[in-house]
A and B are shown apart, each in its own frame.
Chain A
Amino acid sequence: MTAAMGNRNVKIAIFLVGLFIVAILPLFFNESSGFIDDCTLALAYIVMALGLNIIVGFAGLLDLGYVAFFAIGAYTMGWFASGFYAEADIHVFVGEFASSIPGIHVNFLIVLIIAAAFTTLAGIVIGLPTLRLRGDYIAIVTLAFGEIIHRIAINGDEVQIAEGFPLTNGRQGITPVDKIDLPFIEPFTSLNLRPWYWVALALALFVLFVNFRLRDSRLGRAWIALREDEVAAISMGIPAVKTKLLAYGTGAAFGGMSGAFLASYLNTVNADQFAFSFSIFVLAMVILGGLGSIWGVVLGAVALTFINYRLIPDVLNDVPNKVGLDFDLSELSFGIFGFLLVIMMVLRPEGLIPERRRQMELEQGIGTGDTELDLVEP
């Protein structure tokens, strides 16, 4: 027992030291450095990947439409914190510049909560008809919802909620979006990225905490049970749809929060961002990191973010130049991205940091989704 306690203390110590390093990291870089930018994006993607991890990793629901929550979160930011609804003139706890332009401008923290609420609601609406289905059918229906939301985003400019209040701004995007404006500190700017980084870090820590707590809880057990043997689980009194909805709704909320943050950070809500390939991008983080493995997913998100935003555009593309070749690698960038996905997956099929249970399921062939009831009794 004491050994276990000691072990636990060591872990906490390592975590705190790591956290300290991560927290002071931006101070070592220029305040608008590309590295801090990539880190901020990585943190925002960690929030999404950990959200998706609750859905796919914990509850075993293959969601190919996670981008829907990114979209809804981002649009919440667009609706409530930009000049998009210029007919309205509502300002709630916002800074000087935002107060000076027309539109609905609500403080970031409030929008963050609204975004979480909206996406949870959307998660329930999408989940209710979907989660009754099994296995890959969930995948295809969530994919379908993701695409429907994408289309609504693109065509929302034709949909008027009220006169002068279209649903979205279509491909033209909602730009610019209000910057974060927290109480007691200077308003954020596009050029000083440190505060953005710390906000993203706070969000990531929050979702990390929730992931850990949920994994070792009554709900966590119920999700494993449903994942491994749904029939046995419901026969043990676990309400399948409700329990899955809790996973789906929670995961959705984090997608929405990250989406709202990114909308403000990137200063735009553009319908073309919400394509199927983004769902795959986040899913790849989860699977590559190790399904269900919290630190694995964090690592997966960081790895793919840096590959996509730094390694390929800034490092690899310069290689031919450096060796004196007149050859533009940027034409090859998504081929390289694909190639890296294949290589990493083949080398580590169970993920970078595999989760203990998942690995066991694999070795023992448990919970392969074979939980059907037989039509004819044996």
Chain B
Amino acid sequence: MEAASLPAAKPKALRVVQDWLSKYGLIVVLLAMPVYYGIQDLSDEGDLSRLGGNIVDGLSNGSIWALVAIGYTLVYGIIELINFAHGDVFMIGSFTAAGFFGTIGLTAGMGIPGLALGLFLTLLVCMLTTGALNVMIERVAYRPLRGAPVLAPLITAVGFSFILQNVGLLWRGGSQEGIGDLINSQNTLFTITGVEITNGDLLAMGTTIPLVILMVMFITRSRLGKAMRATAQDPEAARLMGINVDTTISLTFLLGGMLAGAAGLIYALYQTTIWYAQGFTAGLIAFTAAVMGGIGNIKGAVLGGLIIGIIQQIADNRIGTEWTPAIVFAYLVLIMVFKPSGLLGEQTREAG
């Protein structure tokens, strides 16, 4: 289970430090930023509303990453593939949403019932589109390579990522595009102890939480969900149970794609800017989230997504947006050093 090679015997003092680090290092790493800046806020401003604001923004952004990360983690869990095209499926979700708003004529001025219905319809359309797209990608680019060298599908994944980005580029042009702000995303809904909660925050968390709960229930309770888990743990034994492994893998891609579609819609509504390369960044972040949480583990993916969301906002606010990605990745490295299997890492075949 641990790394196979162990350090040679070391002087005692060093060992004590090492033991301490291996026990508490992870906690120290995770809490370092919020605690440091919390103390700074308390001493500078006397309350924690600035940090609170960062955390709320972080949770909203993070919940989008979480939905995308689940798709990564599901796919990795079942066929051990880093599905580089997944972020771009998410992008297509955003584009579908933006296109569909226009088609059915949703505007910010409509009444709440009409808007809610319209958005719900959009959600379904997005989820179906990206779900189907993801299933198609699996059929075309990954299934023919089953049994091929493990790295071959990695390259087809990258290839598909390029293809989808090009589709996005032709669809809506090369630069970021502002779209209608249907829900007045940044309007404050209410304020708790100095922390503003906006419409966008409510939407992001309000959509993500039920989706994640549904997903976890589906996978742990339902027959098909169990088939997915069984296939992930031992595909050959799963076949002996009468599970159709190909269908189960397709189902996994369907679910992952649907969540990416939902995330795409939330992203479009929350950020109100979309562009063809958004999926690349999102994919990288979501994959990092999946690994951080322990790849193959849904709850881990959600936790990883939320943590990254919070790190990003704190870093944006205190350090500077240009450094934010570096800080996120530095966190990833530290977490891997202290807990190589990720925060909630289960034993996967690969990680050991």
Interface residues of A (CB under 8 A from B): 56, 62, 129-130, 132-137, 139-141, 143-145, 147-148, 151-152, 154-155, 230-231, 234, 239-241, 276, 280, 283-284, 287-288, 291, 331-342, 345-346, 349-351, 358, 362, 368-373, 375
Contact = CB atoms under 8 A, between A and B. Distances in A.
B218 interface: no
Contact of B149 (A151, A283, A334, A350): A350
B60 interface: no
B291 interface: yes
B339 to A, nearest CB: 11
Contacts of A349: 144-145, 148-149, 152
A334 B162 contact: yes
Given A140-B332, A332-B170, A362-B149, 14 more contacts: A135-B350, A136-B80, A139-B82, A154-B322, A230-B4, A334-B165, A337-B159, A341-B158, A342-B159, A342-B160, A345-B145, A345-B152, A345-B159, A349-B149
B82 A136 contact: yes
Contact of B326 (A130, A147, A240): A147
B141 interface: yes
B336 A141 contact: yes
A356 to B, nearest CB: 13
7 closest A-B pairs (Cβ-Cβ)? Answer: A338-B162, A372-B352, A335-B166, A349-B148, A341-B159, A151-B326, A342-B159
Interface in B122-166: 140-141, 144-145, 147-156, 158-163, 165-166
Interface residues of B, number: 55
B336 A338 contact: no
Contacts of A147: 284, 325-326, 329
B169 interface: yes
B337 interface: yes
A297 to B, nearest CB: 13
B239 to A, nearest CB: 16
Dominant secondary structure at the B interface: helix
13 contacts: A56-B151, A134-B350, A136-B295, A154-B322, A284-B155, A291-B151, A334-B165, A338-B161, A345-B156, A349-B144, A349-B149, A371-B352, A373-B1
B253 interface: no
Contacts of A154: 322
B333 interface: yes
B284 A373 contact: no
B345 to A, nearest CB: 10
Contacts of A280: 84, 158
A306 to B, nearest CB: 17
Contact of B151 (A62, A276, A332): A62
